[in-house]
């Protein structure tokens, strides 16, 4: 039985959740003994995947799919051949994205013997902001009959998209934590939830975020002061 990594972002494309998922695919591929059989990628109602999203090893197949466009029936079909589920998703108002909540509710009571792990990222610098969402997942496991593994909470999610490598420089700590979670998922091990943040000062992270918003405003014909404009009514 293999590992299913579910990108829980409502957006497709190369966002933070998918990049974290790809890092886990690579980590599991390195940690698991190699075996032949990794082929082209595909999944029911999944979305546009590539061969780079899949690996195979002694620990079974590891597959990354999008949650956007995936039905509960499609997820159940995937979980029939994958006994470990890893969620990577962005924090939405201290919780999970609503479509991901609906997807998980749709499989509640219909699957057993699955271990759940999670990597939660947020735009906040403080990784502690993600802990409420992790508690929600733990409660879901209790209701749904899934085995809780553990979670990784990452603050500073904006750097995941802007950085070319997730195991170098300010994100070296994130890379190490992803390796640890991949190893635990392969072993089916439980453990304490862990926290990670970029190795940069908070003011530097905020400065970079402000530059990004100002650049987007400029590209859309706005000025910096327009970012602070309040709408009447």
pLDDT tens figures, 39-60:
333 333 344 443 335 544 445 6
Q: Which residue stretches of 43-171 are H helix? A: 72-79, 98-107, 131-144, 158-162
- 76 with 130, same domain: the answer is yes
Mean pLDDT score, 85-109: 93
Tokens of 108: 């509640």
Tokens of 215: 């650049």
The predicted-structure confidence for 101-122, as pLDDT tens digits, reads as follows 999 999 998 988 899 999 999 8
Residue 157 pLDDT more than 90? no
Identify the three-state secondary structure at position 80. coil
Q: CA 151, CA 192: separation in Å to the nearest integer?
A: 8
- 44 with 143, same domain: the answer is yes
Q: CA 32, CA 36: separation in Å to the nearest integer?
A: 12
Q: CA 104, CA 89: separation in Å to the nearest integer?
A: 13
- 26 with 96, same domain: the answer is yes
Mean pLDDT score, 183-193: 92
Instruction: Name which of 87, 138, 96, 117 is nearest 180 in CA terms.
Output: 117
- 71 with 14, same domain: the answer is yes
Burial of 183 per CB tally in 10 Å (0-12, 13-18, 19+): middle
Residue 227 pLDDT more than 80? no
- 146 with 232, same domain: the answer is no
- 229 with 160, same domain: the answer is no
Can you give the pTM of this predicted structure?
0.83
Element containing residue 150 per DSSP (H, E): strand 147-155
Domain boundaries, position 225:
202-233
Residue 86 pLDDT more than 80? yes
Q: CA 181, CA 185: separation in Å to the nearest integer?
A: 6
């Amino acid at each position: 039985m293999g590992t299913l990594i579910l990108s829980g972002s409502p957006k497709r494309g190369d966002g933070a959740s998918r990049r974290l998922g790809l890092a886990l695919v690579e980590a599991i591929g390195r940690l698991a003994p190699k075996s032949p059989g990794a082929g082209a990628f595909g999944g029911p109602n999944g979305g546009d995947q590539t061969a780079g999203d899949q690996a195979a090893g002694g620990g079974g197949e590891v597959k990354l799919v999008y949650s956007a466009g995936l039905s509960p029936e499609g997820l159940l079909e995937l979980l029939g051949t994958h006994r470990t589920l890893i969620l990577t998703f962005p924090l939405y108002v201290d919780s999970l994205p609503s479509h991901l909540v609906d997807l998980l509710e749709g499989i509640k009571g219909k699957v057993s013997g699955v271990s759940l792990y999670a990597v939660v990222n947020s735009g906040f610098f403080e990784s502690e902001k993600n802990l409420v969402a992790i508690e929600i997942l733990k409660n879901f496991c209790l209701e749904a009959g899934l085995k809780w593994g553990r979670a990784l909470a990452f603050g500073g999610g904006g750097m995941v998209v802007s950085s070319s490598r997730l195991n170098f420089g300010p994100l070296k700590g994130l890379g190490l934590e992803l390796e640890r979670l991949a190893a635990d998922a392969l072993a089916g091990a439980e453990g304490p939830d862990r926290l990670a943040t970029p190795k940069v000062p908070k003011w530097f992270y905020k400065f970079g975020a402000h530059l990004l918003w100002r650049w987007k405003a400029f590209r859309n014909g706005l000025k910096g002061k327009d970012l602070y404009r309040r709408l009447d009514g």
